[in-house]
Structure 1
């Protein structure tokens, strides 16, 4: 599994900080750049 995982209770994306190596790929992949808040 990747850094983002789906919460089965809320059906929202959960961010796994332990797996994050701050590569920036998820920020580039998100067209709205909503994930930018994490950094």
Structure 2
């Protein structure tokens, strides 16, 4: 799976428009990582 780090607003919007879903990875207050799949209905 590719990892992207974009800072330009237009590139971020282009990426979101080209995808049907994405996975958002975070860590909770205890530092335990988790991933949420999201679609753009």
Q: TM-score, with normalisation over the residues of structure 2?
A: 0.35
Q: Bigger relative contact order, structure 1 or 2, given CA contacts below 8 A and separation 6+?
A: 2
Pick the structure with more strand per residue: 2
